[in-house]
Structure 1
């Protein structure tokens, strides 16, 4: 392989790995050439604690086991995962051991390059900030997870009088390796496992009618839901057991098994992306995306920031889309002319949560002919149908590439944007709001570059259009009521609840879009827009910090609510009863809404900043 081929391969790989994909194209192209490649065989140490680290490692393919100084497991990393940053951001010395557990291909970014990028890229630095901030290290690893986020809820339980034969039949029919034995009111009496069935019942020659109380482990060691994964690992290793009940007081609330731990390690955005990349049908991908709620709950439970959680969730949607495009081309043949698939809405902004429909469109090369259109119609249908199969339901407003309006040549898209800017009627404002959040996903990215630059330049110059966009951004207001209360939904299924989307995050999203227009900012992510607006002086430093803090609190409260719903076995939504919050939480949330309303007032009055 030539050096050019090597650099191109690495560049294409980095384009789909966060946070490298947030870097400017020229930076990404440059660092692709400085990465050092290394192949590590199974069982070989990459480094040990105390070693001087030469750079930041990125797994191209393979598996790496990270353990602490005492050899205790910390995490299992797969393709697209980075490691070694904790040492680099401290004194340059490794604080863990790293060992390849299978044939692994590594890319290493030299330490000096890593530090240069940290200084020049806020998004890159923010991604690795979790390793520099006290108390925020290794947030995704098993040892720091709460037991409540790991355990299987609603465990199958039986009474002490249940016969061994009946218990064995239940284990066979429900495919479980243990049963909890309880007294009335779910009071834990013991636990019976498959091992008990073989070593005590069968080997002991006990009859099938013998009660399970004769073979169960009475008063087994248990953990509270607030215990950590490290507590669980220590109990299992020290006592050589594979099943641990979870209790509140003496009442059973869950059970943890070694299978749960394996499942936890398997649920990561990187492993899901890898599985999607290897899938050959939408149905196969759906078996991966069905784990998204669990991933969201896991990420939130680990204390990750909201922009990290939504970014990783969105990465899955991006991967599904790109894989569907590849499968479509495999079935339909090569496209007759270049095209670009783009996401808009929350996927475009990389802000997807546990509740997402699909919003997408296609830009076609101007060389496209009428004879070519059936190909792109079929391509759009293949991908949109596949996204729906994977849980990204069809857009109620038909904002999809399957609609003729949203699958057009570049010259038509230019007319669209020019028309919306010149005549900003209500529909134009709505469409512009959606389309200003466009982000390329797959295809020829060059089709979008000039369109975005030209549109932003034209929009900034048209003060009438900007004024209309400002008015449009004020339609969604924070849910503030009288006497320091909240304005909740007045009727329907969610009466007396807060809409944490339309009255929570959307007002900030709208503000971020206005600041992007005013400053000519190409970022589409809301938090990135606010940071860029501060850097440009579009918002004052104090105003930006207040708004960022407010946004973080609102977005994280919304995500925590969704995670709680998933944990309780319910489908997540965007609504939350204020009564679910403590007095302190309500006070902080209300203060955050006040900040957003103040910023809306400033923008509405043409001030644009909060001093």
Structure 2
């Protein structure tokens, strides 16, 4: 071999080693780790390496249309924009090795709105626009990331979480399965005039546990189940020729084929039913039973809810708390999101609370006056996790102060018994005494209205804190009309008080997300038992909860759930839809990390807590957690602009 050939061969070898080394580097980061090797090789072959000294501009709006995708190989870059207040410059993002920018501008074939500055000596891989466009059409993971950004990374995290849980539980199916897929067989139905004898014959012939009665247009008007049959036999009244219309349950629960297995499970749990009809265009197309869901999910959600509601002793309810924890593991394996899981936990907690109240009424006797059991805070928002304490109160109707005092005297002993029983069931007593057994929280509707008015008219620090608890309320047991009227009064009072709105917004900005000036860094505790940790609840979730609350209350939105508040705020045009989606994704991810943290604590027999060392997370989780905290910062910045803070 000649020297020239040897030199050329050496050069080829160096190029190949460089390509392979770059590919190995990219394979450490999403979305590159999801790409086919041929597509990744194409990307690397069409990249060139460029150096930027600390302080250099990498890409800026004045450069015009973006021509390259930048992938950081070494160093880091700051993204900066003019401050929302108009004063100075804000660092809106910090981009670390393995991350790329400015993706949205490149997809939109436009200039960037952000000034990207090298924060230190930095090397970037530059992919030209034509090669970027080709990869968009050829690589699904690359296209998904380019078009959806952090959303696609969240999907990846959720898939990994689900896969890990599924490996442990042997799960094969998803709670997102559509009912149209589950209700594939033609439903067994009858029409008016069918006798009990004929109904039983049809159910036996088709081996089904329910029979749906339909009208001439095939719309379900009633359902008869094996449970109904057992009741008929137990009653011993009538014969087999009885018309089914007199024995069936009218107006059965209905969902469309597009609804999911989770929707069906939640409906069954809420209504204590074992069957529901799948209806499309006002026509029966299928029936879903709890057995179908159990076969699909291996999750006994409806059965657990029914067991809770039928418990005969407080000790039995306490024992069922472990089953709820196992259920959450199972549902996570079947693809349930944190929002779904907190909704289910809250639903089961509601069943537990209601059963405790009923057991205490049986044990101590009814007080002789109707009352409503209220819940506040995370339970009021339907956002409870396994780690929860009590925040509750009582509302009743009374004609005047004397009558209210008399009713309160009859209700307080019962309320205290309920609080103690709930404590036995794992709902720890509130250290701040936010409980129905407190005379200050066992009030008539008029007294509650006056108390809320006092909070709004005198918004000092303590009252602002109370508003963050009491203004997320809903009824769990008893008449609901009084609570609706109370909340309507609350919305009217807030709408008429701009000062209180502004102070609530100020309060919503007190808990700052735990990221520093350089967004790559988490702000963690520096000393004591909490050293090197951050609080996922107070510093991560609370900024979203508080921000959504003030905007919702100020705009007459009755919904208490944080994510639903964001959706309704977007529907009303109070915030942009894309911002609402970003806040929702960020909240969703922080809640996911928090629930995983609680699961680990439970498995290890540790006390539940919300403090986490971010160094225990992998690089992908850290990356998305930083972005989630940044969304909380954006929400607080917009509150500051809206209320001129």
- The answer to whether the 8 Å contact 2:408/2:442 transfers is no
Pairing partner for 1:537 from 573, 577, 586: 573
Deviation at 1:112, TM superposition (A): 2.7
- Counterpart position of 2:558: 522
Aligned match of 1:578: 614
Q: Residues 435, 57 of structure 1: CA spacing in aligned structure 2 closer, same or farther, 3 A cutoff?
A: farther
Deviation at 1:290, TM superposition (A): 2.8
Aligned residue number for residue 276 of structure 1: 308
- Residue 302 of structure 1 pairs with residue 334 of structure 2: yes
Measure, in 2, the Cα distance between the counterparts of 1:277 and 1:451: 28
Once residues 570 and 277 of structure 1 are traced to their aligned partners in structure 2, the CA distance between those partners, rounded to angstroms, is 29
Q: Identify which of 431, 444, 448 aligns with 2:479.
A: 444
Give the 5 Å matches for 1:241-252: none
Q: Which runs of 5+ in 1 are unaligned?
A: 1-36, 48-52, 64-81, 91-103, 116-127, 129-137, 145-264
TM-score, length-normalised on structure 2?
0.56
> Do structure 1's residue 416 and structure 2's residue 451 form an aligned pair?
yes
In the alignment, is residue 546 of structure 1 matched against residue 582 of structure 2?
yes
Cα pair distance change 1:589/1:140, threshold 3 Å: farther
Q: Is the 8 A contact 1:290 1:390 kept in 2?
A: no
CA separation of 1:580 and 1:89: change in aligned 2, threshold 3 A: same
1:272 deviates by 2.0
Residue 561, structure 1, aligned to residue 597, structure 2: yes
CA deviations on 1:342-379 (whole Å, 9 max, x unpaired) are 00011111111121001000012114454433320122
> In structure 2, what is the Cα distance between the partners aligned to 1:440 and 1:432?
17
Structure number with greater CO (CA < 8 Å, separation at least 6) is 2
Counterpart check, 1:359 vs 2:388:
no
Verify: 1:44 aligned to 2:80, yes or no.
no
Tell me by how many angstroms 1:46 deviates: 6.3
The Cα of 1:106 is off from its aligned counterpart by 3.8
Q: CA separation of 1:356/1:56 partners in 2, compared to 1, >3 Å: closer, same or farther? A: farther
Cα distance in 2 between the residues matched to 1:320 and 1:107: 23
Structure 1 contact 57–106 (Cα < 8 Å) conserved: no
Whether the aligned pair in 2 keeps the contact of 1:516 and 1:529 (CA below 8 Å) is yes
Q: Which protein has the larger Cα radius of gyration, Structure 1 or Structure 2?
A: 2
Aligned with 2:547 (options 497, 502, 511): 511
* 2:526/2:532 contact within 8 Å kept: yes
- Does the 8 A contact of 2:254 with 2:278 survive in 1? no
How far does the alpha carbon of each residue in 1:482-525 deviate from its partner, in whole angstroms, 9 at most, with x for none?
Answer: 43110113333332122111111111111110111121110011
> What is the aligned counterpart of 2:466 among 408, 423, 431?
431
Corresponding residue for residue 249 of structure 1:
none
Q: Is the 8 A contact 1:489 1:499 kept in 2?
A: no
Other-structure match for 1:163: none
- The match for 2:346 is 314
The equivalent of 1:189 in structure 2 is none
How far 1:303 moved relative to its partner?
2.4
Determine if contact 1:354/1:573 at 8 Å carries over to the other structure: no
Partners of 2:469 and 2:318 in 1: CA distance? 27
| Whole-Å separation in 2 of the counterparts to 1:345 and 1:59 | 40
C-alpha distance in structure 2 between counterparts of 1:464 and 1:114, whole Å: 53
**Residues 1:486 and 2:518 aligned together:** no
2:82 matched to which residue of 1? none
Which secondary structure state, in structure 1, belongs to the residue aligned with residue 642 of structure 2? coil
Alpha-carbon deviation of 1:587? 1.1
Determine the C-alpha separation between the residues in 2 that align with 1:386 and 1:423: 35
2:438 is aligned to 403
SS in 2 for 1:513: helix
Structure 1 residue 83: deviation in Å? 11
Task: Go from structure 1 to structure 2 and tell me whether the alpha carbon gap of 1:105 and 1:313 turns closer, same or farther (over 3 Å shift).
Answer: closer
Q: What secondary structure sits across from 1:110 in the alignment? A: strand
The alpha-carbon distance between structure 1 residues 509 and 573, as it changes in their structure 2 partners (threshold 3 A), is same
Tell me the equivalent position of 2:281: 112
| Residue in structure 2 matched with residue 181 of structure 1 by the alignment | none
User: Helix, strand or coil for the counterpart of 2:281?
Assistant: helix
1:570 to partner: Cα distance: 4.1
User: Given the alignment of the two structures, is residue 389 of structure 1 paired with residue 552 of structure 2, yes or no?
Assistant: no
Where does 1:18-417 land on structure 2 (aligned, <5 Å)? 44-45=207-208, 87=257, 106-108=275-277, 110-112=279-281, 265=298, 268-367=300-399, 368-417=403-452
Give TM-score scaled by structure 1 length.
0.59
1:488 and 1:495 in contact (8 A); partners too: yes
| Structure 1 CA distance for aligned equivalents of residues 221 and 546 of structure 2 | 37
Mapped partners of 1:496, 1:58: distance in 2? 58
SS in structure 2 at match of 1:408: strand
Distance 2:316 2:411 in 1: 24
Please give the alpha-carbon distance, in whole angstroms, between the structure 1 residues aligned to 2:224 and 2:331: 21
Q: What is the CA–CA distance in structure 2 between the aligned matches of 1:314 and 1:60, rounded to whole Å?
A: 28
SS in 1 for 2:443: strand
CA contact (8 A) 1:311 1:352 kept: yes
- In the TM superposition, residue 323 of structure 1 has moved relative to its aligned partner by 1.1
SS at match of 1:45: coil
User: Aligned pair 1:600/2:600, yes or no?
Assistant: no
1:351-409 deviations in whole A, cap 9, x for unaligned? 11121001000012114454433320122012111110000000011000011100011
